[in-house]
Structure 1
């Protein structure tokens, strides 16, 4: 996939000694941002964000080429090749996620056609995300995020910064905002309005949201949003499975991939039914593109975790990539009679003495529940996907056991 329109052709990538560990970490972060930005571009019908997706996709192309070169140089014998195979799975899966995200962005840029009901799904799907260029006279220019105290004051987060052709993903407190930076902001509408105006000097115009009167179309849009959320979770678990060498997480990736496949089948049926009632069936073409690309993302997640499913030993370079963080993702089964059975989740955090954030619950009779509601009560038989420190994870497992 080529660079954004109007940009120069891709630069030549030559081999240079680089840290494979750092490349893997950056590819993981880039994959997650690409999914987030591409769907936000669609839900907001925002061509500026879609263009940033293609710029970030070009960055991923460079990362995966450098990673492949480094891995080829590292394979000295059959044993090395066997252990490096799962790492190549990460590279290949990340590339497919990048391509799928680029295809989603092009639904907006090439005006393939999307129903207005896509915007109606926005409040339940994601917070508002905008692209804002920092003006020379912005009060934020030349200051760090810690100094600005943006998130505490407004609820708005700077999730990424593009400085020329370079990207700063997940900027931290010491990151400085500079004039001419392109910032990607996420947060509530009220906060976005104030911050956008302060950064750009231009008034923020929120996207228009229209309801649909076609029931089957509403179902199709809801399915796409659920497929998006499940695919994002699958990618998160896939990286977690290989970084933490956890077969349990890889098995959940496989479960999620099966669920996304089933959802796509129902989604296509509802979209075709809706076409008969839609005043302009051609406007639904974009939905079909989204369905295909979303399934590609879940398939890529499964490819990333394939080495773990086949019980291939993780190469030491992957172990190095995870040593920088004490935070891990775990799968925990709630046993009947355990200490956390019948406890409530408040914003994904169980009412217990352990600090774990529950990302999703898989319940035998109900399927997947993502980011559980505050009134969700845990039941025996629930399978929880949770994130927290290693110490908290061990305590959490003990609480879930009878």
Structure 2
């Protein structure tokens, strides 16, 4: 759809903001995955989503302008426009990252070979009319539990379903985005498409220490995602404490960007064609834009402005809620690993970060991550899951 063709029509600002938030989070995930795995197909889906975001931001702006009837209204709605603008910046940055792949701006072909095993792959698959999954729901298939593969989005007749739930069904010609290990993806991809999943052949690296660059990209991705999550969380909780964490993360992303750029410049002197590294410079710049946009989202909270009810409601009603829970004395989690207690399986919540009592962060913790008393868990998932996690942690969902 051409954003220039969008005309004003009455829409729920809250509903638009919900979709913008969920789409922005998905865009970051897909854009970095496209670069890490060198996937033109996933990168193309990023640009499809970016077009959808252009339409959403225009709808949001028009509705907000129509709602402002006097200076008092304008004052209250100005921070909402700020959130819309920041979310659009995230979308544009994700599109820039995707173009690194689609326009062959320049990334090492061997990058995929250097990806740590813990980093899952994202693939695009189109549901074949004869697929055994047609008509089946995610819950009925028990897809993630049985295969380790999660459907992160679905596009049907041009309409997106972001964060599909257990009631979401497969239909012929759906385009689905799947995340998981290559072993699990192989099984699901073949069941969905009828074709054999063939990952790209590994490429030997001609660049010394490429693993460090890949680790940095993975860390930038994780920190950018966390900054955006916390920014929306600061609005939901109306918490200056959570917003302050966004400030800290933005500073850490800036420092990481500087170190990454230094690595690229040093590596350029050791490769035959430095142009092959140009895309990595673009990636670093886009990462900074995302973290800056996260800071803009939480700026109203940092300035002590009241969060507009429509924004708070939109964050609360999005497909995934963000919660912050304190691990208290006597909690089953204390001195145990996330894997030991099967936190994700038992609660349905994904712990996306752990903040230690001394202020240090564990970004994207794994099953082996041990949790201690006074740790703060940042998690995403369903509302029911949030309640179960709070009970397990022994504390309440908190605004800090």
Whether these two folds match at TM > 0.5 is: yes
Question: What TM-score comes out, normalization by structure 2 length?
Answer: 0.87
Matches within 5 A, 1:265-276: 265-276=258-269
Match of 1:389 among 380, 386, 389: 386
Name the residue aligned to 1:190.
183
- After superposition, what is the alpha-carbon deviation per residue over 1:91-118, rounded to whole angstroms, capped at 9, x for unaligned? 1111011001101110110011111342
Name the residue aligned to 1:329.
323
Matches within 5 A, 1:58-97: 58-97=51-90
Name the residue aligned to 2:98.
105
Instruction: Rate the CA distance shift 1:35–1:125 in 2: closer, same or farther, 3 A.
Output: farther
Alpha-carbon distance between aligned partners in 2 of 1:348 and 1:298, rounded to the nearest angstrom = 33
State the secondary structure of the residue aligned to 2:378: strand
- After superposition, what is the alpha-carbon deviation per residue over 1:184-233, rounded to whole angstroms, capped at 9, x for unaligned? 11122122112211221211101333454644543233222211110010
In structure 1, list runs of 5 or more residues that go unmatched.
1-7
Name the residue aligned to 2:335.
343
In structure 2, list runs of 5 or more residues that go unmatched.
none
- After superposition, what is the alpha-carbon deviation per residue over 1:297-319, rounded to whole angstroms, capped at 9, x for unaligned? 11111111111111111112124
Name the residue aligned to 2:248.
255
> Given the alignment of the two structures, is residue 114 of structure 1 paired with residue 111 of structure 2, yes or no?
no
CA contact (8 A) 1:146 1:173 kept: yes
1:295 offset after TM fit, Å?
1.0
Name the residue aligned to 1:4.
none
State the secondary structure of the residue aligned to 1:161: strand
State the secondary structure of the residue aligned to 1:174: coil
- Between 363-372 and 232-241, report the one with greater CA deviation: 363-372
Instruction: Rate the CA distance shift 1:367–1:263 in 2: closer, same or farther, 3 A.
Output: farther
State the secondary structure of the residue aligned to 2:5: coil
- Between 365-374 and 92-101, report the one with greater CA deviation: 365-374
State the secondary structure of the residue aligned to 1:234: helix
Name the residue aligned to 2:303.
310
Match of 1:297 among 278, 290, 307: 290
Instruction: Rate the CA distance shift 1:244–1:276 in 2: closer, same or farther, 3 A.
Output: same
State the secondary structure of the residue aligned to 2:269: helix
Instruction: Rate the CA distance shift 1:74–1:393 in 2: closer, same or farther, 3 A.
Output: farther
CA contact (8 A) 1:237 1:329 kept: no
CA contact (8 A) 1:85 1:307 kept: no
CA contact (8 A) 2:324 2:376 kept: no
CA contact (8 A) 2:235 2:312 kept: no
Name the residue aligned to 1:45.
38
Alpha-carbon distance between aligned partners in 2 of 1:324 and 1:45, rounded to the nearest angstrom = 34
Instruction: Rate the CA distance shift 1:127–1:221 in 2: closer, same or farther, 3 A.
Output: closer
1:28 offset after TM fit, Å?
0.8
- Between 300-309 and 126-135, report the one with greater CA deviation: 126-135
Match of 1:232 among 214, 225, 232: 225
- After superposition, what is the alpha-carbon deviation per residue over 1:166-192, rounded to whole angstroms, capped at 9, x for unaligned? 111122233232211111111221221
1:399 offset after TM fit, Å?
9.2
Q: CA RMSD in A?
A: 3.1
Match of 1:57 among 50, 54, 63: 50
Match of 2:277 among 275, 284, 299: 284
Question: What TM-score comes out, normalization by structure 1 length?
Answer: 0.86
Alpha-carbon distance between aligned partners in 2 of 1:176 and 1:108, rounded to the nearest angstrom = 31
